[in-house]
Amino acid sequence: MTVDKGHTNTAFVADDGLNSKKAHHGTKNIANSFALEIQDKKPGLETDYNPYEHRHVEHPTTNNETLIHLLKGSLGTGILAMPNAFHHAGWLVGGVGTLLIGILCTYCIHLLIKAEFELCRRKRVPSLNYPAVTQTALLEGPEALKPLSGVIIHIINTFLLIYQLGTCCVYVVFVSSNIKAIADYYTENDTDVRIYMLIILLPLILINWVRNLKFLAPFSTLANFITLVSFGIILYYIFREPISFEGREAVGKVAEFPLFFGTVLFALEAIGVILPLENEMKTPKKFGGNFGVLNKAMLLIVTLYIGMGFFGYLNYGMDAKGSITLNLPEDEILAQCVKGMLAFAIYITHGLACYVAIDITWNDYMKKHIGDSPRATIYEYLVRTVLVLVTFLLAVAIPNLELFISLFGALCLSALGIAFPALIQTCTYWHETHGLAKAWMIVKNSVIGVIAVIGLVVGTSTSLKEIIQTFGDHE
């Protein structure tokens, strides 16, 4: 999981020394402490402004580096859950469904990137983060939606916060489950996975006390290498035995499709890192486009996910677990090494994933109330500890990897990855398009919005029902 490095507590900084205190349509600052101060539009002037030319990045990334970051952001615990996702959908529906969801997610990311460029051009700012793009778009859209601009940043931050904490819950379950798989074999005991969660709690707190991500960078590089090697070993186990379709369903149970949808969304979407990555590119124009970095990355990612899900399901069938590592042989040293290595790699990544949640909670909310208190550092460590404890307690309550993945995928990424980009495009071009073009835009984005809402409601409710049932079974 790659950290949303572009998330800050400011909406944007005005460029070229322009007076950012001019408010949109003469209104006062928006969203309380999230003051989005938008200057008046000057007809004709915005056409002379190219945001790409005004971005001053200290260490810009190349196209290949951005591609690698995108791959890192999407290749984690999600891909290890794909065989289980295909178990819910069937190998045929799983393959086609993953492809269609991948196309939809990629299209929505393109909508977001294009809208950001257009809004930056109009407002003469070099870049905008996700909350600011949404707020600015609402202010540019229909009059009926403008009152929502004051709260939309909090809504976006809430979804980002839930998603990142949910990801951390998945990591806690993943690490403890794989440690349990190793320990149980050698101790010949079936120890409750919660015991291992308790054992790793203090190390999780300590790694999240690291305030500067620079100190985690070497470990992150090591984790990426470990992950790559581990995937290779997992593929060895998948293809070690002849692949057979016998006993494998082409179409799964309709009632379990929402679990498939949520899992694939969780696996595919790296929406939190899209704008930061594009904003830090040396040639951001190469990010979009038919043969841009985004399409190349998503093509590789979707291919890898379909491959892992398809062949993993054909190999393990209905026994496919929330992480394919848990299906590996218990009596082979190589398989045990994979579990241990990935547990270590994901443990390190917990500090990166939780960083975004800490950034939102501390910088956007808590710090504003504490001010220049001499105990600010102590309070920050307290916030970091509490957030880790929240993810720990949730994981202890429902130690089920696949249900966590499906829940947070359906709940957060249906909104962040699909619904909001469609809304952003509609509002951004509301006054710019007319006639059939406008009608098509509204119909198209309404359909996308309906798909997102259905996925959110049905996927979340299905996952919650399964979680409640699982929780009842553990009582």
* Confidence at residue 458, expressed as pLDDT on a 0 to 100 scale: 93
Tell me the pLDDT of the chain (475 aa) as tens digits.
334 333 433 333 333 333 333 333 333 333 333 434 444 444 455 557 888 888 887 778 888 888 887 877 777 788 899 999 999 999 999 999 999 999 999 999 999 999 999 999 999 998 888 899 999 999 999 999 999 988 999 999 999 898 888 888 989 999 999 999 999 988 888 888 999 999 999 999 999 998 876 777 777 778 888 888 999 999 999 998 888 898 899 999 998 999 999 999 888 767 667 877 888 888 888 888 888 899 998 999 999 999 999 999 999 998 898 889 999 998 899 999 999 999 998 888 888 778 878 888 988 888 888 877 788 889 999 999 999 999 999 888 877 778 888 888 888 889 999 999 999 999 999 999 999 999 999 999 999 999 999 999 999 999 888 888 876 665 5
pTM of the model: 0.82
The residues, ordered by sequence, that sit 6+ positions from 465 with a Cβ below 8 Å of its Cβ are none
Q: How far apart are CA 466 and CA 471, in angstroms?
A: 8
Distances (CA, A) of 317 to 312, 332, 400: 8, 21, 19
